[in-house]
C-alpha cells in the first residue's frame, strides 16, 4: 500500500502522520492524547493495510502490545493510589467534630491553666541544644516562672509548671504567655513552643478541617502534634 493510502486510512481514524513521528488529532474537546482505544484502532488499521509482501513482524507487534498494556496498567494503578492517598489524607466532617471538647498539643505561645492548676507543654528542637529555657509570664508581662530544661538532642522535650509564682502563690487560670529559648553554646537553636489548648470549634468549610483554639486562633488539624 502506498504512503498516501495509509495516510488516508489514518486520517479516517482521526490520526495524522508527520515526518517526525505520529501525532494524534483530538477526537473530541475532552483530550488530545493517544488512549487505549486509539491504540487499538491504529493497530487494527496497521493490520488491515499492511503490505502483504512485507507484513508487520509479529514479535514486534506483540512487544508493542505488551508495552502499551503495561503502561496502561501502571497509569491506572497510579490513579487508584492517588485516590486512596487523597481519601486517607482527608479529614471527614465526622472525624473533625470528634476534636470538640478535647485538648490538643499545637504550636502557640498562649496557654491556659489546667483545672488542677499549672501549665504543661513541650518544645520542638530543630537541633541538639546545650540548654533549653522556658519562660512563663502573665497577661501583664510579669514573669511567673522560668525553668531550664538542660541539654537535649533534637526532637521534643516536655515541661510542666505547677502554676505557682516565685512567692508560691497561685497564678490563676491565665492566659499565660510562654516563650522558649534554646541554645547550643553561643548559637541559637531553632525551637517551636507547643501548648495544650481546648478545641472550641471546628470548621470544614475550606475542605480541610480547621480548629479554633482560645488564645491561639485557627490552626489546621495537620498542625496538631497530640490529642489529650
User: Which residue ranges form the domains of the chain, and what is each CATH number?
Assistant: 3-89 (no CATH), 95-227 (2.60.40.4070)
Return the pLDDT at 129: 94
Q: How many CB atoms lie within 10 A of CB 188?
A: 10
Q: Report d(CA 212, CA 210) in Å as an integer.
A: 7
How deeply is 153 buried, as exposed, middle or buried, from its count of CB atoms within 10 A (0-12, 13-18, 19+)? Answer: exposed
State pTM to two decimals. Answer: 0.55
- How many other β-carbons are positioned within 10 Å of the β-carbon of residue 180? 22
CB 155 within 8 A of CB 124: yes
- CA angle centred on 200, ends 196 and 201, rounded to 5°: 125
E-assigned strands of 78-128?
A: 103-107, 110-111, 119-125
Burial degree of 28 (CB within 10 A; 0-12, 13-18, 19+): exposed
- Distance, in Å, from the CA atom of 193 to the CA atom of 180, rounded to the nearest integer, reads 6
Residue 17 pLDDT level (bands cut at 50, 70, 90):
low
pLDDT at 159 over 70: yes
- The region that residue 149 occupies, defined by phi over 0 for left and psi between -120 and 50 for alpha, beta otherwise, is alpha
- Asked if 109 contacts 195 with a C-beta cutoff of 8 angstroms, the reply is yes
Cα gap 13→17, rounded to integer Å: 11
219 strand-pairing partners: 211
Contact 138, 176 (CB under 8 A): yes
pLDDT at 179: 92
Average pLDDT rounded to a whole number, residues 179-186? 92
Provide the residue count of the chain: 228
pLDDT at 162 over 70: yes
**Angstrom distance (rounded) from CA 21 to CA 16:** 9
CB atoms within 10 A of CB 202: 19
Res 21 pLDDT > 80? no
Model confidence at 25, pLDDT cuts 50, 70, 90, reads very low
Helix, strand, or coil (residue 4): helix
Bigger pLDDT: 85 vs 150 = 150
| Residue 61 and residue 161 in contact, taking contact as beta carbons nearer than 8 Å | no
CA of residue 105 relative to chain centroid, distance: 19
Amino acid at each position: 500500500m502506498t504512503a498516501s493510502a495509509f495516510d488516508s486510512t489514518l486520517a479516517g481514524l482521526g490520526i495524522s502522520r508527520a515526518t517526525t513521528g505520529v501525532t494524534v488529532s483530538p477526537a473530541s474537546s475532552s483530550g488530545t492524547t493517544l488512549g487505549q482505544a486509539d491504540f487499538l484502532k491504529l493497530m487494527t488499521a496497521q493490520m488491515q493495510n499492511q503490505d502483504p509482501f512485507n507484513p508487520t513482524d509479529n514479535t514486534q507487534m506483540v512487544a508493542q502490545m505488551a508495552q502499551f498494556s503495561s503502561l496502561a496498567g501502571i497509569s491506572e494503578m497510579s490513579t487508584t493510589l492517588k485516590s486512596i492517598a487523597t481519601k486517607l489524607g482527608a479529614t471527614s466532617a465526622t472525624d473533625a467534630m470528634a476534636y470538640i471538647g478535647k485538648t490538643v498539643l499545637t504550636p502557640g505561645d498562649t496557654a491556659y491553666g489546667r483545672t488542677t492548676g499549672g501549665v504543661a507543654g513541650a518544645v520542638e528542637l530543630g537541633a541538639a541544644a546545650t540548654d533549653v529555657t522556658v519562660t512563663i509570664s502573665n497577661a501583664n508581662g510579669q514573669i511567673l516562672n522560668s525553668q531550664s530544661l538542660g541539654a537535649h538532642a533534637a526532637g521534643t522535650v516536655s515541661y510542666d509548671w505547677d502554676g505557682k509564682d516565685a512567692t508560691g502563690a497561685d497564678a490563676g487560670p491565665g492566659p499565660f504567655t510562654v516563650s522558649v529559648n534554646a541554645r547550643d553554646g553561643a548559637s541559637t537553636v531553632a525551637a517551636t513552643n507547643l501548648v495544650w489548648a481546648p478545641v472550641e470549634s471546628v470548621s470544614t468549610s475550606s475542605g480541610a478541617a480547621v480548629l479554633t483554639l482560645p488564645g491561639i486562633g485557627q490552626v489546621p488539624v495537620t498542625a496538631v502534634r497530640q490529642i489529650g
